Every structure is written in structure tokens, then in C-alpha cells.
Amino acid sequence: MSEEISGAADQQIVENAEVEPVKEAGLTKEDLEARIDKVNKEWQSRFDKLLSEKKEKETQALTVEQRIEQVEREREAERLSFARERAKLGAKIDDELDAAIELYRSDNPEEIVKGAESIKAFFEKMKAAHEADKEAAIKEALAQAGAQPRPRAGKDQKVMAAADFEKLDPKERAEFMASGGTITD
């Protein structure tokens, strides 16, 4: 790149160079010094212009490299988002949980706290639903097996029907009677 610029600089300097004779009649030392300063400033201006063009080209090259890096980062982010969606669908992750996780991954401290609370609430809700499902499954299994829930003898229950008392095993009958329970017809 510097060869192109220096080549262009040589051409431009040669084309624009003005050669004026220095020996003029009646030229003083101050006039000569002023003329030398003027010529030096013109040359410096040309060099400064070329250097700024060179820097501009280098900046453009860096911008292209930076753009390539940016496109690569965007491409990688898109790949990761597709991988997350595939994994989410494969694992059947609930949208509510996914939103809570996104909040938790945020850079904002308030959103992180909100995300953590949402994740905790989600798991508590899932735990309660699991317990309810477990109870329902047990009741359904007992009903399919034809088992009747047995009445429990204890301190809370002092009166029991004779039919229910007969369903109790001997140990439970003894406990019921020892606790002061009564049998009704």
C-alpha cells in the first residue's frame, strides 16, 4: 500500500512542481528566506495531504477487518440462537422457564434478581404440580385395584360405624378401642 501511495506522491509532486529561478534581480536575503519558507510550507502541505490519505486508507482497511469480525460475531450469535431453539424444543423447556433464564442471563442487576425469582417460582410451581399429580396417580391406582381407603383410628376419630370397624385389621381395632373410640350401627 505504501508503494502505491509513494508512487502516486512522486507523480503528483513531479506534475505539480514549479521550478522558478531563484536568481532574480533585486532579491534580498529576507525575500529569499520568505520564498524558502513558502516553498517548504507548500511541500509540507503536499506531504501532509499524502500522509492523511495514507491514514484514511489504513482506517478503511481496519474498518473492513472490523466489519468482517462483526459479521462473524453475528453469524456465531445466530448459530447459537438456532442451537438454543433446537435444544429447547428437544428438551421441551417451558417458555416461562426460558424467559426466566433469559432474564437471569441479563447484564442488568434488576433483571437478574427478577430472573432468579422467576426460576424459583417456576420450580416451586412444578414441585406443587408434581405432588398433586403423584397424589392423583396414587388414588387412581388404588381405585383401579379396587381398594377402598381404610378409615384410620386415632385420637381425632372417636366414633366409627360398625362396617368400617370390621374393615380394620386387629391391631387398628385395638388402637381404636384403646383411644376411647365408640362403634355405632
What are the pLDDT digits (tens) for 85-100?
888 888 888 888 888 8
Torsion angle defined by CA atoms of residues 33, 34, 36 and 40, in that order, rounded to the nearest 10 degrees: 130
Cα atoms in the Cβ-side hemisphere of radius 13 Å centred on 69: 6
pLDDT at 14: 47
Number of Cα atoms under 13 Å in the Cβ half of residue 133: 6
The residue-averaged pLDDT of 135-156 equals: 70
CA separation, residue 180 to residues 153, 156, 176 (Å): 10, 11, 7
User: Region 133-148: what's the mean pLDDT?
Assistant: 80
pLDDT digits (tens, 9 = 90+) for 161-174: 888 888 889 888 88
| Total count of residues recorded for the chain | 185
Is residue 167 within 8 Å of residue 148, measured between CB atoms? Answer: yes
